[in-house]
């Protein structure tokens, strides 16, 4: 019964007792247990990544009225394994003139940057890696390694299309980091801490999506842009730059980039769940942490599905429109929302829970209404201007 209430503690104590009974020193036993936990966790994440390949292909097939994988295993469930074998046996090519060290290091860093993020994710009330008091700052810092891997891949490939794709993608990622950070600051203000564990625990009474729905929307838009998925997929403008920064990568090197993208999408779904949708909270989740982990995975999969929904529905937009959308609309809206959230929270934080939630939600709706009316007025002015410029000019005789 104790295993159901605190599985990590039970497993840790059993391993520690076993290793020390073999005559191992306490510090060595603890080191081995920690290393074993890291290896098992990374293995579990990579197995999940294999499953995500199947999920992605089945979902896009449904969106595009196709069957998807349906031959290898039940419902095509084993299809990712032949795909992995195919990537492994493909020829490993390094272009002439490429920087071999940087070229080979880039895909490793791309996948590692995503795995690093899982160190601070609270899977359940008693199942988590590290409780950092600056976990959200760590999220931004570890995510920037992915940006570094992209510019490394483009530069080291000795290919102008790869370099152009890397420049476009990095410009996009750096730009949308601003609204991403703003969205992360909203739960920080609500809780008074950057600890992801404390932010999740603070949502025991109500989810923060009720308090800041615009913040949740801002986060998911910035997350899709950071992922480089449609409509922000500048890294793979096939009609312009062939395949972007990883055009020269073959075999498992390309596979690492692909695996990193899929896992990154699921990871952002997990952060979306932890920041705004209660994370592991659910019926009996506090008493049974494994049940809380199940709730977290379900919520993360829903967030991942939303990201796929957008990707396979919305077409890619031009880079100038994409950057203009960020700097002229999303970033100013984010700063306004942050200030409104801070002021409203300061005024209502001593109020009853129902009044606090209602007041915060209403403030978000007011910001949304003002934004919609502003966009409508701007569209009206542009339409009038376009109609005026399209009228034929009649010359006087």
* Complete DSSP assignment for 87-154: HHHS-----TT--HHHHHHHHHHHHHHHHHHGGG-EEETTEES---TTHHHHHHHHHHHHHHHHHHHH
101 class by beta-carbon count within 10 Å (0-12 exposed, 13-18 middle, 19+ buried): exposed
Q: How far apart are CA 166 and CA 234, in angstroms?
A: 9
**Is pLDDT of 282 > 80?**
yes
Q: Which of 5-14, 53-62, 234-243 has the lowest mean pLDDT?
A: 234-243
Higher pLDDT, 336 or 316: 336
**Is pLDDT of 240 > 70?**
no
Q: What is the largest CA-CA distance in the chain?
A: 108
The rounded mean pLDDT for the chain is 88
124 class by beta-carbon count within 10 Å (0-12 exposed, 13-18 middle, 19+ buried): buried
Per-residue confidence (pLDDT) for residue 359, from 0 to 100: 94
Residue 148, SS3 per DSSP: helix
Q: Are 121 and 277 in contact (CB under 8 A)?
A: no
Helices (H) and strands (E) in the chain, counts: 16, 2
Q: Are 355 and 204 in contact (CB under 8 A)?
A: no
Per-residue confidence (pLDDT) for residue 239, from 0 to 100: 59
Kindly indicate the confidence band of residue 128, based on its pLDDT and cuts at 50, 70 and 90.
Answer: confident
Give the pair of three-digit tokens for residue 167: 């420049």
Per-residue confidence (pLDDT) for residue 215, from 0 to 100: 93
Average pLDDT over residues 30-36: 90
Per-residue confidence (pLDDT) for residue 296, from 0 to 100: 93
4: CB partners within 8 A, 6+ apart:
288, 290
**Is pLDDT of 397 > 60?**
no
**Is pLDDT of 5 > 70?**
yes
Per-residue confidence (pLDDT) for residue 287, from 0 to 100: 86
**Is pLDDT of 312 > 80?**
yes
Average pLDDT over residues 201-206: 90
**Is pLDDT of 362 > 90?**
yes
Instruction: Tell me the Cα Rg of the chain.
Output: 24
Per-residue confidence (pLDDT) for residue 304, from 0 to 100: 92
Per-residue confidence (pLDDT) for residue 345, from 0 to 100: 94
**Is pLDDT of 243 > 80?**
no
Average pLDDT over residues 311-335: 87
Digit-coded pLDDT (tens) for 152-189: 998 998 888 888 888 888 888 888 999 999 999 999 99
**Is pLDDT of 127 > 60?**
yes
In angstroms, the Cα distances linking 153 to 229, 266, 359 are: 18, 23, 48
Q: What is the distance between the terminal CA atoms of the chain, rounded to a whole angstrom?
A: 98
């Amino acid at each position: 019964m104790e295993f159901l209430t605190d599985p990590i503690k039970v497993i840790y104590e059993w391993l520690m007792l076993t290793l020390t009974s073999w005559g191992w020193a306490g510090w060595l036993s603890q080191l081995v247990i920690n290393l074993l936990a890291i290896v098992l966790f990374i293995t579990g994440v990579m197995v999940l990544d294999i499953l995500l390949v199947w999920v992605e292909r089945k979902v896009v097939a449904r969106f595009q009225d196709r069957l998807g994988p349906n031959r290898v295993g039940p419902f095509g469930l084993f299809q990712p394994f032949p795909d992995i074998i195919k990537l492994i046996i493909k020829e490993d090519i390094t272009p002439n003139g490429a920087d071999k060290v940087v070229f080979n290091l880039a895909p490793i860093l791309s996948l590692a940057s995503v795995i690093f993020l899982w160190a601070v994710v609270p899977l359940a009330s008693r199942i988590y890696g590290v409780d950092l008091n600056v976990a959200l700052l760590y999220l931004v810092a570890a995510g920037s390694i992915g940006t570094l891997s992209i510019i490394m891949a483009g530069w080291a490939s000795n290919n102008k299309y790869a370099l152009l794709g890397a420049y476009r993608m990095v410009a996009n990622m750096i730009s949308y980091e601003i609204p991403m950070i703003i969205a992360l600051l909203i739960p920080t203000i609500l809780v008074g801490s950057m600890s992801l564990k404390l932010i999740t625990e603070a949502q025991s009474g109500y989810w923060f999506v009720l308090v800041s729905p615009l913040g949740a929307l801002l986060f998911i838009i910035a997350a899709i842009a950071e992922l480089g998925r449609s409509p922000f997929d500048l890294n793979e403008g096939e009609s312009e730059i062939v395949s972007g920064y990883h055009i020269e990568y073959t075999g498992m090197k390309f596979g690492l980039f692909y695996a990193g993208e899929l896992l990154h999408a699921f990871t952002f779904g997990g952060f979306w769940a932890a920041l705004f949708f209660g994370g592991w909270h659910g019926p009996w989740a506090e008493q049974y942490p494994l049940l809380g982990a199940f709730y977290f995975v379900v919520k993360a999969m829903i967030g991942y599905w939303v990201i796929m929904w957008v990707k396979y529905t919305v077409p890619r937009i031009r880079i100038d429109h994409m950057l203009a959308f960020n700097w002229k609309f999303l970033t100013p809206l984010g700063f306004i929302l942050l200030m409104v959230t801070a002021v409203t929270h300061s005024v209502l934080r001593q109020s009853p829970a129902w009044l606090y939630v209602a007041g915060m939600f209403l403030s978000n709706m007011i910001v949304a209404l003002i934004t919609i009316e502003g966009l409508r007025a701007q569209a009206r002015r542009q339409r009038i201007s376009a109609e005026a410029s399209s009228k034929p000019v009649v010359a006087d005789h």
